[in-house]
Structure 1
């Protein structure tokens, strides 16, 4: 029974984010390569815990080099201001309740 419950949990953990991504703005799914929405065992900050303004500000700082990064500086350069705002608003609405 424990094995079945673990398997169901693993399946839910894969399917639920995929279904949620179906309604996301273009590019939002790429964030989940490193970030989680609501935390977990991940050293990368959960993106769903941030306000939209925090995400926009961070992405702009990564893009200009004002905020040091190993990967996010290159990621941020791939999005327009409008795309960043749409993604930020979408993730901010995914906050843990």
Structure 2
């Protein structure tokens, strides 16, 4: 994840998506992260903990998080 200050809620992403069993988010295209989060939020992806997490964010917050995780370190 980038060194810049994270938007609200984004710092918890690294806990699961920092590498390992779940897909790493660092360096992923912001558009892909945004699309995935919005799909979870809308119930269009298989329910996991992510559908509940995504519902806690506005679209603007999701876009800010996606831009942050996509930024180079």
Length-normalised TM-score, structure 1: 0.67
Asked if 1:34 corresponds to 2:12, the answer is no
Moved beyond 6 Å, runs of 4+: none
- Alignment: residue pair count: 73
Question: What 5-or-longer segments of structure 1 have no aligned partner?
Answer: 1-16
CA separation in 2, counterparts of 1:83 and 1:61?
15
SS across alignment from 1:78: coil
- Looking at both structures, which has the greater relative contact order when contacts are Cα pairs under 8 Å and sequence separation is at least 6? 2
Length-normalised TM-score, structure 2: 0.88
Question: What 5-or-longer segments of structure 2 have no aligned partner?
Answer: none
Larger radius of gyration: 1
Two-structure CA RMSD over aligned residues (Å):
1.9
